[in-house]
């Protein structure tokens, strides 16, 4: 009985502690603590979000206002920083840290007339003058301001244009660029995010967002956006380089090496990529050899090849080790080239299968009459297998596209199907099965009907199958084979 009570008491205490932790995670103090962790690591975007969340929980929480002011100050937003420090002091008059920050900024502004005018709202151009300008005219004036190097006024004009066209990707993108140059990373990110919603296929936008996250020391997020840019534009060397830097910042050295090597594949003269590889090589040294050997032995040649190349170029290896590296490199490159060729052929067959729909209107009879224009074309033909034969060790099909025509006497509608690899053992692959085949016309040949032992009067089409479907009576499911 006593142990039973003790167990109940333990469960009750655990439940109270759990509830306390849950409640704490939803308080303003919790968000301020998380924000401070980001702030001290110079991750201002994340800090900004946490302090704003704290104020949503408690708008009169002085620590949230004070630390939000510190974020604004760190990013050069003078007016916003002063406002937050003032609010913190109003809420808590004895808040010495906030008061010191406020007095320090006010003293430094006393001799800075331009900054005072900016805070008081007396910029060179009056707001009323801006508000009356249509969007097209505002964009035009913004460009003129940029030519004159008057970036602040250009930003103002773009902001006016945005009021009329809030979803304009080009305007948001330009604002993001200008704010980025001013180190206003929070505002720049907001502009680029809006631009991305309107122009999701513009690779420059995720690339720019990746740069913002690199500037704010959040490489794991930068990695995601650089990856987006590369998927949209695989040859964007600056995005590949950025991804390499993001990996490097996360101490993922091997991944970084792969990206910098890809940079050199795109642009062999890219000095920055060469410098990065040389630097990383100095850090890794013998590790390239051991890791490259490990991946080679596992058959992961795509990972082994760059590491072995780096070991050969930068590693301080013995003559025997260099010889071993050369052998592994040659073998790795052989298999990589073979895989590359297989992917190319596979893609070609996939393209043939996709393009075959266009060839539906071309029939066998037409090709046999006038083959020249059609050799190499993709077709989608159906028919009945008259017999299965063998050629060069692989099975081939003799198909009659017009089963109502007796192919013993008339082979004008017949064609032969070859395959890039041997067919599986399956009873559905047999004479009298119906087939639908997508493939490419390789050539035209005289065909022999092995049943009647007669030759075709004309040269009939021979196609290589990219995809074929077998349908046989009394079989519930068709057999579909794809060779890509």
Q: pLDDT value at position 367? A: 93
pLDDT above 70 for 122: no
pLDDT of 203 strictly over 50: yes
Task: State the pLDDT confidence band at 23, using cuts at 50, 70 and 90.
Answer: very low
Cβ contact 418:479 at 8 Å: no
- Res 22 pLDDT > 50: no
The three-state DSSP-derived secondary structure of the chain is CHHHHHHHHHHHHHHHHHHHHHHHCCCHHHHHHHHHHHHCCCCHHHHHHHHHHHHHHCCCCHHHHHHHHHHHHHCCCHHHHHHHHHHHHHHCCCCHHHHHHHHHHHHHHHCCHHHHHHHHCCCCCCHHHHHCCCHHHHHHHHHHHHHCCCHHHHHHHHHHHHHHCCCCHHHHHHHHHHHHHCCCHHHHHHHHHHHHHHCCCCCHHHHHHHHHHHHCCCHHHHHHHHHHHHHHCCCCHHHHHHHHHHHHHCCCHHHHHHHHHHHHHHCCCCHHHHHHHHHHHHHHCHHHHHHHHHHHHCCCHHHHHHHHHHHHHHCCCCHHHHHHHHHHHHHHHHHHHHHHHHHHHHHHHHHHHHHHHHHHHCCHHHHHHCCHHHCCCEEEEEEEEEEEEEECCEEEEEEECCCCCCCCCCCCCEEEEECCCCCCCCCCCCCCCEEEEEEEEEEEECCEECCCCEECCCCEEEEEEEEEEEECCCCCCCEEEECC
Q: What percent of the chain has pLDDT over 90?
A: 52
Higher pLDDT, 126 or 52: 52
The tens digit of pLDDT for each residue in 135-186 reads 899 899 899 989 888 888 899 889 999 989 999 999 999 999 999 998 889 8
- The four Cα atoms 470, 475, 477, 481 give a dihedral, to 10 degrees, of -30
Q: What is the pLDDT of residue 80?
A: 84
Cα gap 367→382, rounded to integer Å: 15
Question: Comparing 79-93, 103-117, 336-350, 389-403, which segment has the lowest mean pLDDT?
Answer: 103-117
Which of 315 and 69 is assigned the larger pLDDT? 69
Least confident interval from 114-128, 146-160, 240-254 = 114-128
**Whole-angstrom distance, CA of residue 247 vs CA of residue 210:** 12
Q: Which of 56-60, 309-313, 426-430 has the lowest mean pLDDT?
A: 309-313
More confident residue, 347 or 287: 347
pLDDT at 20: 45
Q: What does the mean pLDDT of the chain come to? A: 86
pLDDT at 193 exceeding the cut of 50: yes
User: 348: pLDDT confidence band, cut at 50, 70 and 90?
Assistant: confident
pLDDT computed for residue 72 by the predictor? 85
pLDDT digits (tens, 9 = 90+) for 208-234: 999 999 998 899 999 999 999 999 999
Indicate the range of 296-300, 398-402, 442-446, 454-458 predicted with least confidence: 454-458
> Given a cut of 70, is residue 9 above it in pLDDT?
no
Mean pLDDT of the 8-16 span: 53
pLDDT tier, 124 (very low <50, low <70, confident <90, very high otherwise): very low
- What contacts 24+ positions apart, CB below 8 Å, involve 202-205? 202/169, 202/173, 202/232, 203/228, 203/229, 203/230, 203/232, 203/233, 203/236, 203/239, 204/173, 204/229, 205/169, 205/173, 205/176, 205/229
What token pair was written down for 259? 């990206």
CA distance 222 to 199: 19
How crowded is residue 321: how many other Cβ atoms within 10 Å of its Cβ? 16
pLDDT band at 285 (very low <50, low <70, confident <90, very high): low
Q: Which domains does the chain have, with CATH numbers?
A: 21-120 (1.25.40.10), 143-314 (1.25.40.10), 362-482 (2.40.50.140)
pLDDT for 37 equals 87
pLDDT at 257: 86
Q: Write down the pLDDT at residue 21.
A: 45
Which pLDDT band holds residue 283 (cuts at 50, 70, 90)? low
What does the pLDDT read at residue 118? 52
Token output for 279? 């630097």
Confidence at residue 3, expressed as pLDDT on a 0 to 100 scale: 54
Q: Which of 312-316, 328-332, 356-360 has maximum average pLDDT?
A: 328-332
Q: What is the mean pLDDT of residues 372-394?
A: 92
pLDDT tens-digit readout, 33-50: 999 988 888 888 888 889
pLDDT at 274: 92
- Which pLDDT value is given to residue 359? 60
Q: Rounded distance, CA 129 to CA 120, Å?
A: 17
- Alpha-carbon distances, residue 200 vs 130, 131, 170, 303 (angstroms): 30, 30, 12, 32
Distance CA 322, CA 328 (A): 10
Indicate whether 442 pLDDT > 90.
yes
Comparing 11-20, 275-284, 473-482, which segment has the lowest mean pLDDT? 11-20
């Amino acid at each position: 009985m006593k142990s039973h009570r003790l167990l109940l008491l333990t469960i009750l205490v655990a439940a109270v502690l759990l509830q306390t932790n849950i409640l704490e995670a939803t308080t303003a103090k919790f968000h301020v603590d998380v924000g401070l962790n980001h702030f001290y690591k110079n991750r201002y975007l994340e800090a900004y979000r946490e302090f704003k969340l704290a104020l949503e929980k408690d708008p009169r929480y002085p620590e949230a206002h004070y630390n939000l002011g510190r974020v604004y100050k760190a990013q050069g937003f003078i007016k916003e920083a002063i406002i937050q420090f003032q609010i913190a002091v109003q809420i808590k008059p004895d808040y010495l840290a906030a008061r010191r920050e406020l007095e320090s900024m006010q003293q430094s502004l006393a001799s800075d007339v331009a900054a005072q005018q900016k805070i008081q709202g007396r910029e060179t151009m009056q707001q009323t003058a801006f508000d009356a300008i249509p969007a097209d005219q505002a964009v035009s004036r913004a460009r003129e301001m940029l030519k004159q190097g008057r970036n602040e006024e250009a930003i103002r004009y773009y902001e006016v244009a945005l009021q009329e066209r809030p979803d304009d990707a080009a305007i948001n993108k330009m604002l993001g660029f200008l704010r980025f140059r001013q180190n206003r990373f929070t505002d720049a990110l907001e502009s680029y995010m809006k631009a991305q919603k309107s122009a999701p296929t513009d690779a420059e936008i995720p690339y720019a967002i990746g740069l913002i996250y690199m500037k704010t020391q959040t490489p794991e997020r930068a990695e995601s956006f650089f990856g987006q840019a590369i998927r949209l534009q695989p040859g964007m060397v600056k995005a590949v380089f950025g991804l390499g830097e993001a990996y490097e910042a996360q101490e993922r050295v091997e991944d970084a090496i792969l990206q910098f090597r890809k940079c050199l594949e795109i642009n062999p003269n890219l000095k920055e990529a060469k410098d990065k590889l040389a630097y990383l090589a100095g850090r890794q040294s013998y590790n390239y050899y051991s890791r490259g050997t490990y991946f080679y032995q596992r058959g992961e040649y795509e990972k082994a090849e760059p590491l072995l190349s780096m070991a050969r170029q930068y590693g301080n290896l013995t003559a025997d080790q260099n010889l071993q590296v050369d052998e592994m490199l040659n073998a790795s490159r052989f298999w990589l080239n073979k895989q590359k060729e297989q992917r190319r052929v596979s893609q070609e067959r996939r393209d043939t299968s996709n393009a075959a729909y266009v060839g539906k209107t071309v029939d066998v009879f037409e090709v046999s009459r006038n083959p020249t224009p059609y050799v190499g074309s993709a077709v989608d033909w159906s028919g009945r297998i008259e017999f299965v034969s063998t050629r060069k060790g692989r099975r081939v099909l003799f198909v009659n596209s017009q089963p109502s025509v007796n192919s013993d006497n008339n082979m004008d509608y017949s064609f032969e199907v070859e395959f890039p690899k041997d067919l599986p053992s399956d009873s559905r692959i047999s004479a009298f099965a119906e087939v639908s085949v997508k493939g490419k016309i390789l050539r035209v040949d005289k065909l022999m009907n092995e049943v009647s032992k007669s030759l075709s009067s004309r040269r009939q089409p021979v196609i290589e199958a990219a995809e074929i479907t077998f349908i046989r009576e009394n079989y519930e499911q068709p057999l579909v084979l794809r060779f890509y």
